[in-house]
A and B are shown apart, each in its own frame.
Chain A
Amino acid sequence: MDADTLLGMDVIESDEILMQRYATGDVGAFELLYQRHKGPVYRYMLKLCQNEAIAEELFQEVWIKLIKARVNYVASAKFTTYLYKLAHNLFIDHYRKQNVRIVIDESVEIDNAEADIQNGNNPEAQTQLEQSIDQLNKILDELPSEQREVFLLREESGMTVPEIADTIGVNQEAVKSRLRYAIAKLRKGLGNG
C-alpha cells in the first residue's frame, strides 16, 4: 500500500498540488510527498556518493531546503525535476568541497578492481553467476559519475531525457550520450551485451 491508499484517498494528487498544499500549511501533504520520493532520492544520493553517512546528510539537506522553499515554490516545472535539481546541486557542491574524499573513494574503486582481477571476477565470468544484482550494482558504481547519474535519474525518478537534461543542466544530446554509454557498459558487465 502506498501513502495515498493509507490515507484513504481515491484520487492520487500530483506532486505539484501536494507541494502547493504544503505551502499553505498542510503538513499532511508534505508527508505524502515525502513518502513518495524519499526512497528514490535516497538511493540516488547513495549511489552517487557511495558513502552512506554522506548520502544521509545530503538527503536530509535536500528535504530541509525544500521545506524552507515552500513559500516560494511555483509549480512552473515538474516537482520531480525541482526536487532532483536540489539534490544534484547539493551533490555538486559537496563534490567541490570534498575533493580529498572523492580521491579516497576513487582509490577504493581501484583497489576493488584489482581485487576483482585477482579473484577472477572479470565481467565475462560474472555472466555465470545467479546473483547478477550484486554485479549490476558493482558495475554501476564503477561507471563515471556523469553516466551513473543520468542512469540513476532515469531509474529512480522516471524522468524523460529532456527532464534529465533540465535537472542536471546539460543538453539532451549529452544526456542521451551518457545514458547510451552507461547502458552499454552495464549490459556488457551483466553478459547481455
Chain B
Amino acid sequence: MSLLEVKSLQKIYTTRFGGNQVQALSNVSFSVENGEYLAIMGESGSGKTTLLNILASLDKPTGGEVFLDGNNIVKIKDSEISAFRRDNLGFVFQDFNLLDTFSIQDNIFLPLVLSQKPYEEMNKRLKPLSKKLGIDEILAKYPYEISGGQKQRTAVARALITNPKLILADEPTGALDSKAAMNLLKIFSEINEAGQTILMVTHSIAAASHAKRVLFIKDGEIYNQIYRGSMNNDEMYQKISMTLTVLATGGVKGE
C-alpha cells in the first residue's frame, strides 16, 4: 500500500459573497510510496499550494479523498487534526516560520513539547539530528541571529524531530541564496537516502532536479510526470526544463 494516496481531489473556492467560483484543483490523483522523494512543479496559480494545504490538513477539499498510511485525513475531526498533523507530518516552509520568541533549540523542540515528550527524550533526538544538519553550534541562538540557510535547516530539524511519516516542503529554497539552497537540497537527498519520504512543492528546477519523481500541475490537474530512473541531476534538470517549456507553450496533456 502506498504511504500517501490522493484520489480525485477537487477544490473550489467561492468568493465571499458567493459570486465567482474558482476551481483551484479539478481532479488530482496520485500516490506516494514509502521512501519516495516527490517534487510537484507548476506555475503560480496552478493549484500546487492548495494541494499542499490539503495534504497538510490545513484546508479541506471540496471533493475527493486523501489517505495517509490508510487514514483518510479529510475525515479527521477538527479536534484531533492538530495532534494528527504533529505526529505524522513534518513541515518546511518557504519563510521558515520560526518563532522569534524561542531559541533554535526550543523551536526544534516545539512539536515534541506539544506532544508532551519528556526532556531527556527530546534531547536524545536532537543531538544526532542537529549534528547532521550542522546546526549543533547555534542551538542557543535566536532566529534573528542566524542566516537564512541556518534558519531553514532549523525548520528541517523541527520537521524531522517528530519522526514524521511524510515531510511536506513548500518552496523550501525560495528564500535562500544558491549556496544555501544547494546545501539544503543535499540535506534533503541525504535524509531521503536514509528512508524519509519527502513531498516538495517548488518552482525551482534545481530543487526539483534532486527529486526522484517530478509531478507537473497545470490549471488544477496533473499534467505530466517524470521519473528520474537512472538519470543524474543534470540530465534530470534538462528534462524538467524541457517539460516546463512545453507546459508553458501549451503542449498537449500526457505527452
**A, B assembled together:** no
Q: Which B residues contact A (CB, under 8 angstroms)? A: none
